[in-house]
Chain A
Amino acid sequence: MDFALLHDAFWGLTFDGLALGAIYALISLGYTLVYGVLRLINFAHSEVFMIGTFSALVASGIMGVKVEDDPRTGWNMIFTLLICLVAAMLASGITAVLVEIVAYRRLRQRGATKLATLISAIGVSISLVELFRIITDSLPREFPRIMDKTFLFSYAGADIRNDKVIVIIAAGLMMFALERFISKSRYGKGIRAVSMDENTATLMGVNINKVITVTFLAGGLMAGAAAFFYILVYENTSFKVGFFLGISAFTAAVLGGIGNLKGALFGGFVLGILETYTSAVFGTAWKAVISFLILVLVLLIKPTGLFGESIQQARV
């Protein structure tokens, strides 16, 4: 136990926690959006994230980046980073939509129970994990360094690293874009209408399958962005990367009140920071424990989360 570290490096840890929290927040939006329209925990969402990390990896390979290379600079670097980001977002977005069509839509249209759909979700998750275990030979993969990581400045003893700044800012922009989309666009209005009252929404001419597809797509795109940010900062991935990230992001969603976008963001950041403090004090091995602990506590004490369930308001 090392409380001195927490004290000495408080701002540095908080900053690291914010970067991790931004990634959790982006993933947890997907859980919360889907829960809002379908009242279903999409357990395959963690694998949507996992596929995003591998896509970014493949894209970097196609762009000719090698692990032993020097980091890129200037426009070349920006272009390469953007390609990897777009690849991750597209792959995750498409995966999310395919999961909905293959694993959920048919069940829904036959009026299957929630439990059947949940089992289907877990089935998809296991299949994707096992598929990637086979593809990757159970080995973790290293992500080449595309950008040089430097300390931009120091604040109160905290060294602010450029890649984490980029992640926090870019994640903030993504969340802002999603908020605009949900509150302003017609699909956003459809998503909110279906979350509030599915039956009435369909009678007002809302095409429910389209709305659900868009919901999965939006959640997948956010998870894909998170995947790219994750791999940019931590520089590795494996077939089981979705498991712990998924648990934390799911906990973040539950902590904020599943179905509530604002809550998911809040929960994501809180969890990211808490996990970082925990690993500093108790060691990295304890990092996952805190999210399980919070998950259990929230479910015991306030199952509706801090903000309650209200995707309808959707004011991020």
Chain B
Amino acid sequence: MSEKLLELKNITMKFGGVTALSEVNLHVSKGEIAALIGPNGAGKTTVFNVVTGVYKPTSGEVNFVGQSVVGKKRYQVTKMGIARTFQNIRLFGESTALENVVTGADVHSKSGVVGAIFGTPRSRREEAAALERGMELLEFMGLKHRAGQLGKNLPYGDQRRLEIARALATNPQLLLLDEPAAGFNPAEKVALAATIRKIRDAGYTVLLIEHDMSLIMDISDRVAVLDFGQKIADDVPKVVQNDPRVIEAYLGAPADAS
């Protein structure tokens, strides 16, 4: 039995009159690639926002390696080991690719303000190590040649990959990817699938939001389906694919049309 890395218990998230999530139970096990799918507005991104501390859930618990995440500051959640990318790219456009990644690495540095101002040996060491690690991650994501270019000047696909590199720089246990293949052509999607596998094999756990079914079926170990804020399925891809409720949610037609 694999250990649960992330666990959401009875999460409800209301925005005024809108219930974005309703009593959702969800978990991610260590070492897996889990997928979260569902029609537009189903509440997928809201799950990420609740997990990373952007929103405080109306009710319910979020536990990460046995510790509660609810009420933690965002940087603390990042420090605990959860990192994410964004559905609409949110890079630091005026910083270089390398600087983007290094900003992510900052969360674990130990040297203080005074050290940074006066450039103490420890802080220099940490900064040098962060740059080295940043270059490694850029190389890992196939972006080494972009290191010195401004985020806003990168081609679209590289921007998406840079977001992943920046998230990995925080040295997370769990990586949350929000539609990383959005806007990709089929060849780019295949390459991305290989990259996500490579990330998992490097020891990270992945929770992935995606609309592309063939990508999901290809790489996920488990698929959870949200519809109107409720979880309607959670199983291996094959089973989910044939679940009538899932088909109904996607096709918008009642399964027992009469």
Contact = CB atoms under 8 A, between A and B. Distances in A.
Interface in B68-115: 73-75, 78-79, 83-84, 86, 90, 92-95, 99, 102-104, 106-109, 113
Interface in A94-134: none
A185 B123 CA distance: 9
Interface string A176-205: 000001001111011011001101111111
Main secondary structure of the interface of B (DSSP, over half): helix
A207 interface: yes
A205 B75 contact: yes
Given A186-B106, A187-B113, A207 B75 contact: yes
B213 interface: no
A181 B102 CA distance: 15
B92 A200 contact: yes
B239 interface: no
B130 interface: yes
Given A186-B130, A187-B113, A206 B106 contact: yes
B128 to A, nearest CB: 11
A202 B104 CA distance: 10
Interface stretch (A40-48, A75-83, A209-217): A209-217
A185 B78 CA distance: 20
Interface in B109-161: 109, 113, 116-117, 119, 123, 126-127, 130
Interface in B190-239: none
A291 interface: no
B93 A190 contact: no
Contacts of A32: none
Contacts of A196: 92-95
Contact of B104 (A184, A204, A213, A313): A204
Contact of B103 (A189, A213, A310): A189
Contacts of A213: 113
Contact of A193 (B83, B92, B126): B92
Interface residues of A, number: 29
A312 B127 contact: no
B95 A206 contact: no
A109 to B, nearest CB: 11
Contacts of A202: 73-75
A140 B87 CA distance: 59
Contact of B113 (A204, A206, A210, A312): A210
Nearest to A210: B113
A204 B107 contact: yes
A208 interface: yes
Contacts of B79: 205
A200 B127 contact: no
A190 B103 CA distance: 6
B170 A204 contact: yes
Contacts of B99: 189, 192
Contacts of B94: 192, 196, 310, 312-313
A196 B100 CA distance: 11
Contacts of B73: 202, 207
A204 B90 CA distance: 11
B74 A203 contact: yes
Contacts of B119: 185
A131 to B, nearest CB: 27
A186 B54 contact: no
B44 interface: no
Interface of A: 181, 184-187, 189-190, 192-193, 196-197, 199-208, 210, 213-214, 217-218, 310, 312-313
The 4 closest A-B pairs by CB, nearest first: A205-B107, A312-B94, A205-B78, A202-B74
27 contacts: A185-B116, A185-B119, A185-B127, A186-B126, A186-B130, A187-B116, A187-B117, A189-B103, A189-B106, A190-B106, A193-B103, A196-B92, A197-B92, A200-B86, A202-B73, A204-B78, A204-B83, A204-B170, A205-B79, A205-B104, A205-B107, A206-B103, A207-B75, A207-B107, A214-B113, A217-B113, A218-B117
